[in-house]
Amino acid sequence: MKEVIKIFSIIVIMIACIFIFSGCNITGIIKDEKNKESEINNYITNNINKVQDSINTDSTSQESNTDIFSMLESRYKEGESYIMSKDEINLTNTDGKGKNYSFKYNNETYTAVYTKDNWHINNSYKIKNKKDITLICEALNDVHKVHGRDMKSYRTAEDMMEEWVIHNIAYDYLPDGNTWKSHAKDVDLNPADQGKSLKEMYEEKVNK
C-alpha cells in the first residue's frame, strides 16, 4: 500500500508540473509575474525535491519512472463514440469574426476560441473518444490551421488529438481540488507541444 501511495503521489506531482509550465493560461489564478514565480518556486521546492529524493533511493528509478507514464497512457479510458463525421458537430462561428466558435457533441454545446496559431477548447476533458476527438480537430483545421513546432508545417488532426488526450489523462488523475486540475479541463492546441508524449512534456517542463 505504501508503494501505491508513493507512486500515486509521484504521478500527481509529475502531471501538475506539466501544467505549471505548459502553455495553459494561468493568469486567472496568478495575477502577476512575481506571484507566478513565487508560487512555482514554492511548489518545486516543497514537492519535486521530495519526489526526487524518493526516486533516488530506488535503484530502478528510471525504469519505474518510465513505467508510471506507460501505465497512465495504457489506462486511459477512451469512452464511447458519438459521431461518424466532422460535419455532425456543426462547428459555428458565433461572433462572425473568426474567433469564437461553438459545436455540438453528445447533446452538449461546447465552445472553442481561436487566436493566432492556437485553438482553445473549453471543457475538453468531457470528450474522451480518440476517433471523435480526431474528427473534431479535422473540423477545427478546416476553419483555421495551426502551425507545427517548426512553424512551417501544419498540425494534423491526429497529433492534435494526441495532445488533447494527454490533457484528459492529467484531468483524470489529478485529485479534485488540485489547483492545476482546472487547467487540464481545457486544451490549447498550438505549435509548442506538437508530438510530445506525457513523459516528454514532463521532462521538458521540470528541467527548465
pLDDT tens per residue, range 122-153: 999 999 999 999 999 999 999 999 999 999 99
My answer on whether 92 and 154 are in the same domain is yes
My answer on whether 43 and 94 are in the same domain is no
Task: Tally the domains of the chain.
Answer: 2
Q: What is the pLDDT of residue 7?
A: 53
Distances (CA, A) of 137 to 27, 96, 100, 140: 26, 20, 15, 5
Residue 48 DSSP label: I
For the chain, what is the mean pLDDT? 78
My answer on whether 70 and 93 are in the same domain is no
- pLDDT tens digits along 21-58: 454 443 444 444 455 445 544 544 454 444 444 444 44
My answer on whether 42 and 100 are in the same domain is no
Of 196, 81, 205, the closest CA to residue 135 belongs to 81
Domain that holds residue 6: 2-77+202-206
My answer on whether 183 and 106 are in the same domain is yes
My answer on whether 176 and 91 are in the same domain is yes
Q: What is the pLDDT of residue 40?
A: 46
pTM given for the model: 0.73
My answer on whether 105 and 68 are in the same domain is no
Whether the predicted pLDDT of 157 surpasses 70: yes
My answer on whether 101 and 184 are in the same domain is yes
Contact in structure between 135 and 83 (CB atoms under 8 Å): yes
My answer on whether 68 and 92 are in the same domain is no
Label residue 117 by pLDDT band (50, 70, 90).
very high
**Exposed, middle or buried, 189 (CB in 10 Å: 0-12/13-18/19+)?**
buried
> Which phi and psi angles does 195 have, rounded to 5°?
75, 5
Beta-strand pair 108-115/100-105: antiparallel
My answer on whether 101 and 162 are in the same domain is yes
To the nearest whole percent, how much of the chain has pLDDT over 90?
49
